[in-house]
Amino acid sequence: MNGSKLMAMLSGLVAFGFYSGAAMSSKYNLPEPQTPIAQQIYDQHILALWICLVIFIGVFGVMGYSIVKHRKSVGYKAANFHHSTIVEIIWTAIPVLILVGMSWPATKTVIEMKDTSESDITIKATGYQWMWGYDYIQGEGEGISFYSQLSTSQDQIRNQAPKGEEYLLEVNNRVVVPVGKKIRILMTANDVIHAWWVPALGVKQDAIPGYIRDAWFSVEKPGVYRGQCAELCGKEHGFMPIVVEVMEQEKYSQWVADKQKSASAGIINTALVASSSNKN
């Protein structure tokens, strides 16, 4: 490989790295991936964009050159020619190879996305018009249940108060999970089709009434990751945010203990009220 080709290759790699880094922080791109699946999705997204760019430049470059260099005003005349079998084979084979090259890693990612076996924690997410219900049904936190609703104030929605940074993306009860654990999400709906979508976690799955569908994620870094219902589900569709908070294991265990304690206190209070009503 001569020096010019090597420099061209290195320049291309530098440009690719620069673009990928700049794109990751752009508000017009996918959010920074936080799970292995999300990272694969992001990488394939960037690769597909580069392939499309190369095809665009190649096709329209040849077209533009042909139009400019072979125009009638400079003396060129239309030529009579017949089809070429070799050319037709080439322009059929190249797209096939491109599609196979793109589909191979995509297929591996899809297969990995569907492997929800050996999960540490299983959470059932139920879509309602218009909020989410969560039930921890396996692993640490089993038995915890709550509803998660939009907490943005009506004053902000009606433009009667300044909008916060997380406008329409904050809830009263977050989904809380520990770092480093494989979290399986079972999704269904109570009324119409909803969709549980958190881009940074690489999860987007329809929640369909009467069906149970699943997905999984595992996050290695504590943080708060936001998403929304991604299926048009009625007039309040835009008011169904999803917030996942990832905690260190110690903090998560404390959160579980607090939730279970609150649930036990609620059961006791309900029993006392029922007992008092029966006596009266």
pTM of the model: 0.78
What pLDDT sits at residue 19?
A: 55
What pLDDT sits at residue 240?
A: 96
Q: Mark which of 91, 113, 135 sits at the end of a domain.
A: 113
Q: 206 and 259 share a domain?
A: yes
Does an H or E element contain 74, and which?
none
The domain of 86 spans 8-72+82-113
Q: 128 and 211 share a domain?
A: yes
DSSP 125-193: EEEETTEEEEEEEESTTTT-EEEE-B---HHHHTTSSPPPTTTT--BSS-EEEETT--EEEEEEESSS-
Is the four-CA dihedral 118, 125, 173, 146 of positive or negative sign? Answer: negative
Instruction: Name residue 206's beta-bridge partners.
Output: 195
Give the helix ranges, DSSP H, for 25-83. 36-69
In a domain, 108, yes or no: yes
Q: 14 and 67 share a domain?
A: yes
Give me the tens of pLDDT residue by residue for the chain, a chain 280 residues long.
444 444 555 455 545 555 555 555 567 888 899 999 999 999 999 999 999 999 999 999 999 998 888 888 888 887 777 778 898 999 899 999 999 999 999 999 999 999 999 999 999 999 999 999 999 999 999 999 999 999 998 888 888 888 888 899 999 999 999 999 999 999 999 999 999 999 999 999 999 999 999 999 999 999 999 999 999 999 999 999 999 999 999 999 999 999 988 877 654 443 334 444 445 5
> What's the structural domain count of the chain?
2
Q: Helix or strand or coil: residue 47?
A: helix
Single-letter code of the amino acid located at 64: G
